[in-house]
């Protein structure tokens, strides 16, 4: 092995996925470096996750900050090119589908550095989603493709990826959830937010829901329909805050907008919810494991396993209030299916494949 494994993270969803992989590789004695691009930054979007998940401080922080997709991706690529020339990693590991992921894959591929993609093969088949473009490009450039579910393996095979590159390993984000399960305190969450009865948690930030004035207005109307039945706790992502505010989000007393929460606090709140309303991919997975009814306001999902083996349902904005009413009437399920290999061992499986790959190149 000519150099360390370089992990590239950039946004909140990356951190719970990276943590078990870093720990598992460390237990195998594999030299590693951790790079944070700074795509998400600040206490609640970055620092609290590293602290709560026991992640080491990044060895390198590019500090790129916010920007359009093109500007942010370009800034990450420029910074990474210099880092890869200096560090000369044996492998670059990227996570999920954010701009940092595709930027790192492009730079590494052009410099001849192998790439491993954790969470490969997920497809919404909706090219209007920037994340779908990021997923497809990253998978095309990757040498090791770590899939979280059988449907992802099938998508990669259909796209012509050689079977030897594809590894069904399970979901490392679920490793992190299961390792921290005892810390998700719904009683503390209720006390912190003065919640006595049932409530719904909402997380919404996708461009299709919050960018356009018409979309934001329709989403706010839907959330007000939910708030007429039960309080809605909305940790609001900076993205889309202005458009939702202009659409009247704050006009209903039942919608309680709060700042983004840390990993432990957020999942404590989710664990006690009657239902979750989201457009986030990761939240679909977390609710699947926690047994919380999840209503995803999207026409599609790249995580269909959360529907077939979980508690997730796709809904329209127009039907949201009715679907929440149905959830409230039905109550929380007592039992529910969970996807294969979502068992807390994904990090170790990924580390084993990486160790074997590196040994084969030494």
The one catalytic residue among 40, 69, 205, 252: 205
Which pair of structure tokens corresponds to residue 279?
């457009």
Terminal alpha carbon distance of the chain: 5
Q: Concatenated DSSP letters for 166-179?
A: EEE---HHHHHHHH
Pairing of strands 275-278, 294-297: parallel
Active-site residue flag, 205: yes
Q: Are 1 and 90 in contact (CB under 8 A)?
A: yes
Which pair of structure tokens corresponds to residue 239?
């993205």
SS3 8: strand
Active-site residue list: 205
């Amino acid at each position: 092995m000519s150099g360390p494994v370089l992990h590239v993270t950039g946004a909140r969803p990356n951190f719970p996925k990276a943590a078990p992989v870093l720990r598992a590789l460390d237990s195998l004695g594999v030299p590693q470096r951790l790079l944070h691009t700074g795509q998400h930054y600040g206490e609640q979007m970055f620092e609290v996750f590293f602290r709560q998940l026991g992640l080491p401080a990044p060895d390198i922080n590019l500090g790129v900050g916010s920007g359009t997709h093109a500007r942010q991706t370009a800034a990450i690529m420029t910074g990474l090119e210099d880092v890869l020339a200096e560090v000369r990693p044996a492998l670059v590991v990227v996570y999920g589908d954010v701009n940092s992921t595709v930027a790192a894959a492009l730079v590494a591929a052009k410099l001849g550095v192998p790439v491993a993609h954790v969470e490969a093969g997920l497809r919404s088949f909706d090219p209007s989603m920037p994340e779908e473009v990021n997923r497809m490009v990253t998978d095309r450039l990757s040498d090791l493709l770590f899939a979280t579910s059988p449907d992802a393996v099938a998508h990669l095979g259909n796209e012509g990826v050689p079977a030897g590159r594809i590894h069904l390993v399970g979901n490392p984000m679920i490793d992190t959830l299961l390792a921290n399960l005892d810390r998700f305190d719904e009683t503390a969450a209720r006390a912190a937010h003065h919640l006595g009865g049932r409530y719904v948690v909402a997380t919404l930030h996708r461009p299709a829901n919050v960018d356009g004035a018409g979309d934001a207005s329709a989403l706010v109307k839907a959330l007000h329909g939910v708030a007429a039945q039960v309080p809605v706790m909305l940790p609001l992502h900076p993205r889309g805050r202005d458009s939702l505010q202009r659409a009247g989000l704050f006009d209903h007393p039942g919608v309680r907008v709060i700042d983004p929460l840390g990993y432990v606090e957020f999942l404590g709140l989710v664990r006690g919810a009657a239902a979750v309303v989201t457009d986030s991919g990761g939240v679909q997975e977390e609710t699947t494991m926690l047994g919380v009814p999840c209503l995803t306001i999207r026409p599609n999902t790249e995580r269909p396993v959360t529907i077939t083996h979980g508690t997730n349902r796709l809904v329209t904005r127009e039907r949201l209030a009715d679907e929440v009413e149905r959830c409230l009437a039905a109550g929380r399920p007592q039992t529910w299916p969970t996807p294969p290999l979502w068992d807390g061992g994904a990090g170790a499986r990924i580390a084993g494949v990486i160790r074997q790959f590196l040994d084969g190149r030494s």
